[in-house]
Chain A
């Protein structure tokens, strides 16, 4: 079956512009996670969704970052007024349920470059 998909695969933007990154989880997976992978910080948790709710947004770096999930499926991560330090690979993962024993399935990521 289809895995987690993310779009676009690459995004180059200018400093100050807004960007939207999309994640399509595996069908039926109720839990969805966003992580960021950067050279300086490694792999960091950003936000977690259970259904359409986000009980934990603690990893979002600033109020320029926001995310939503609709229909218990697609999620969008939005970065406003992008800065060069936002350059990273943004990874999305989904799991059947949110419990600790559930494997998180990762998408290929979106590479964001802010010029």
Chain B
């Protein structure tokens, strides 16, 4: 069965520091991979997605992620974190079944940013 693991439940970084959020997936075929962000009281917003091609994908708000098939990973990175990045981040894999895309989410990583 497909699954997504986000090993870090909480991460705290200082404003201006770099950030890497880890995501590992289990999926038999080439996966559709997504990172979503959820700010308090808000719905999920897509940061970026990977389907094929270049393994380094750029997203909104200065985020990027790298797909590494050999490691079954899709880690999210940002070179310099802003206080407004404090939120919960979810990695997801699209379970393509019957021609549609059901998202399977990781447990999430809650990011705190110190001034």
Is the A/B pair a real complex?
yes
Are B97's CB and A91's CB within 8 A?
no
Are B43's CB and A100's CB within 8 A?
no
In the complex, which residues of chain A have a beta carbon less than 8 angstroms from the beta carbon of B92? 43
Cα–Cα distance between A10 and B103 once the two chains are bound (Å): 24
Contacts A43-B105, A103-B49: A98 and B100 contacting too (C-beta < 8 A)? yes
Per-position 1/0 for B65-105, Cβ under 8 A of A: 00000000000000000000000001010101111111111
Contacts A42-B107, A43-B90, A100-B96: A91 and B43 contacting too (C-beta < 8 A)? yes
Contacts A91-B44, A103-B49: A56 and B97 contacting too (C-beta < 8 A)? yes
Are B43's CB and A48's CB within 8 A?
no
Q: How many residues of B contact A (CB 8 A)?
A: 26
Minimum CB–CB distance for A13 against chain B, Å? 20
Contact of A35 among B94, B97, B98, B103 (CB under 8 A): B103
Are A106's CB and B45's CB within 8 A?
yes
In the complex, which residues of chain A have a beta carbon less than 8 angstroms from the beta carbon of B108? 42-43
> B17: CB under 8 A from chain A?
no
- The dominant DSSP class at the A interface is strand
Q: How many residues of A contact B (CB 8 A)?
A: 28
In the complex, which residues of chain B have a beta carbon less than 8 angstroms from the beta carbon of A55? 98, 100
> A45: CB under 8 A from chain B?
yes
Chain A, residue nearest B98 (CB) = A55
> A109: CB under 8 A from chain B?
yes
* B interface residue numbers (CB < 8 A to A): 32, 36, 41-46, 49, 51, 90, 92, 94, 96-108
A sample of 21 inter-chain contacts (CB < 8 A) reads A31-B100, A33-B102, A35-B103, A42-B105, A42-B106, A42-B107, A42-B108, A43-B90, A55-B98, A56-B102, A59-B102, A93-B44, A98-B100, A99-B101, A100-B94, A100-B100, A100-B101, A101-B51, A104-B101, A108-B42, A108-B43
* A interface residue numbers (CB < 8 A to B): 4, 31, 33, 35, 42-45, 48, 50, 55-56, 59, 91, 93, 95, 98-109
